[in-house]
Amino acid sequence: MKKSFAARTAFGLGLLLGSGSALAATTLTIGTVNNGDMVRMQALSKTYTEQHPDVELRWVVLEENTLRQRLTTDITTGGGQFDIITIGAYEAPMWGRKNWILPLEKFSPTYDVDDLMPNVRKQLSVDGKLRALPFYSEGSITYYRTDLFAAKGLKMPEEPTWTEIRGFAEKLHDPSKNVYGICLRGKAGWGENMALVTTIVNAYGGRWFDEKWQPQLDSPEWSQAVNFYVDLLSKFGPPGPSSNGFNENLTLFNAGKCAMWVDASVAGAFVTDKTQSQVPDKVGFVKAPRQVTPKGSSWLWTWALAVPSSSKQQQAAFDFIQWATSKEYANLVAKRYGISAMPPGTRLSTYANAEYMKATPFARVTQEAIQTANPDSPTLKPVPYTGVQFATIPEFQAIGTLVGKSISGALAGSSKVDAELKKLNESVQRTIKRAGYIK
């Protein structure tokens, strides 16, 4: 009896000590998106933990919408599950204003804050103070197949208009050969089809709200833009476009089925990657299409890392996000995955690097798209909100979701665009009134 008790005690102590030695001093829980670049970060983080043996990283990697739901419910209810969160340009300023995420100052001397792109910094700051650090940024650009254009004797201008794009799509559309004139986002969602549709509306001179917060969905600009988009995509797009988002279109383009594609500049690295694209050397890159104005015709989106105020390990978390958004990290990616894979759109030094510019055919277009998209003055006519393809207000998620659903329905042919826009305008007005923007 006695012996067994001693044995048991020893065994228990052994367990405690054994597990104790395996426990790191600090465990950081990181919530992030399952995009290619973030998955790379997870793989490369071993380098960080080798330098910081006392830090252990726990990764929660989820699909974008699911992650947004998890993070939002956790942050807004003060759950405190996460030490580091991956958020977008939409959440960063709003959550910062509410002090749900920490203001970031006292950077390490090697970080070089002034090297971050001004527009990107603006997107992530509240009153001039950074609230999140940019992991990568993207604008929207036009991808086109140089071989198909050459075969038909067409020439893509540096700054095409949507009307020109339609002309090309008509000439290149050949479903019998499994080539569609143009691939565009049709899947409902404020960050899916509405990102693209808003840039088309902007190009047509439209806007979400006027200076008095009156929604503008029943304006002639919206009608022209949305009718144009639905007509273009249903006539010269792939079958069933209402279920295609970024990833579905990327798959189509990489399989050689799209003559043109207007989408995030971050796809440049994927369409030119020999391991996943069948047309890596046949892709050309120009600016996103304009129409009556170039203003707001290319979106601006940044994925960034932030530290929630509810985190207990703020210093350690801050240290990690500096590492993950540093020049040192970018060089690590270049070494491991090739120079074109460096996180795009965040640092001036990346675009001052001659080697990168030479190796990366989409670098210049990406840089221009990000430099010209101005979230503070996104549209031709003045607006009361900031943000190019979204309005940085808490209600926008609901509004964008609703409008996105209707437009994808119109694309599937279940409704008429103009009647739908009138109805939407009323719903948006209701939401905005209820939130107290319109007195």
Partner 1 sequence: MSEAARESRRAGRLTASPAILLLFIWMIVPLAFTVYFSTQNYLLLDPENRGFAGLENFSYFLSSSSFLNSLVTTLELVGSVLVITVVLGVLISVLVDAKFPGQGVVRMLLISPFFIMPTVSALIWKNLLMNPVSGLFAWLFQLVGLTPINWFSDWPLLSIIIIVSWEWLPFAILIFVTSLQSMDQEQKEAAQMDGATPVSIFRYLTLPHLARPIAVVVMVEAIFLLNIFAEIFTTTSGGPGDATTNVPYLVFTQALLEFDVGTASAGGLVAVVLANLVAAALLRVFGKSLTQA
Q: Is 34 in the site for partner 1 (CB under 8 A)?
A: no
Cβ distance 427 to 404 under 8 Å? no
Q: Is 254 in the site for partner 1 (CB under 8 A)?
A: no
Kindly indicate which of the ranges 272-280, 306-314, 315-323, 411-419 contains the residues binding partner 1, using the contact rule CB under 8 A.
Answer: 411-419
Q: Is 176 in the site for partner 1 (CB under 8 A)?
A: no
| Options 408, 425, 429, 432; binder of partner 1; rule CB under 8 A | 408
Question: What's the closest the beta carbon of residue 401 comes to partner 1, in angstroms?
Answer: 5
- Tokens encoding 121: 């910094």
From the CB of residue 66, how many other CB atoms can be counted at a distance below 10 Å? Answer: 11
Q: Is 4 in the site for partner 1 (CB under 8 A)?
A: no
Question: What's the closest the beta carbon of residue 423 comes to partner 1, in angstroms?
Answer: 6
Q: Is 430 in the site for partner 1 (CB under 8 A)?
A: yes
Give the span between the Cα atoms of 185 and 190, in whole angstroms. Answer: 11
Q: Is 247 in the site for partner 1 (CB under 8 A)?
A: no
Beta strand residue intervals within 393-433, DSSP E: none
By beta-carbon proximity to partner 1, the closer residue of 44 and 412 is 412
Nearest to residue 263, comparing CAs of 369, 363, 143? 143
Of residues 285 through 304, those in contact with partner 1 by CB under 8 A are: none
Q: Is 94 in the site for partner 1 (CB under 8 A)?
A: yes
Angle at 223 between CA 220 and CA 225, to 5 degrees: 105
Q: In Å, what is the CA distance from 414 to each residue of 96, 180, 411, 425?
A: 40, 22, 8, 18
Query: What is the residue-wise DSSP string for 116-134?
Result: B-HHHHHHTEETTEESSEE
Report how many residues bind partner 1 under the rule CB under 8 A.
35
Cβ-count burial 380-390 (b if 16+ within 10 Å, e if not): beebebbbbbb
Q: Is 306 in the site for partner 1 (CB under 8 A)?
A: no
Q: Is 412 in the site for partner 1 (CB under 8 A)?
A: yes
Q: Is 256 in the site for partner 1 (CB under 8 A)?
A: no
Q: Is 435 in the site for partner 1 (CB under 8 A)?
A: yes
Q: Is 243 in the site for partner 1 (CB under 8 A)?
A: yes
By beta-carbon proximity to partner 1, the closer residue of 146 and 234 is 234
Q: Is 398 in the site for partner 1 (CB under 8 A)?
A: yes
Which neighbouring-strand residues pair with 183? 261
Cβ distance 34 to 62 under 8 Å? yes
By beta-carbon proximity to partner 1, the closer residue of 117 and 403 is 403
Q: Is 56 in the site for partner 1 (CB under 8 A)?
A: no
| Options 312, 414, 416, 438; binder of partner 1; rule CB under 8 A | 414
Alpha-carbon torsion angle 137, 284, 197, 437, nearest 10: 30
Q: Is 173 in the site for partner 1 (CB under 8 A)?
A: no
Nearest to residue 342, comparing CAs of 367, 320, 309? 367
By beta-carbon proximity to partner 1, the closer residue of 326 and 406 is 406
Of residues 178 through 197, those in contact with partner 1 by CB under 8 A are: 188
Q: In Å, what is the CA distance from 115 to each residue of 54, 260, 352?
A: 30, 33, 11
Q: Which residues bind partner 1 (CB under 8 A)?
A: 65, 69, 72-73, 76-77, 94, 98, 188, 239-240, 242-243, 394-395, 397-398, 401-402, 405-406, 408-415, 423, 427, 430, 434-436
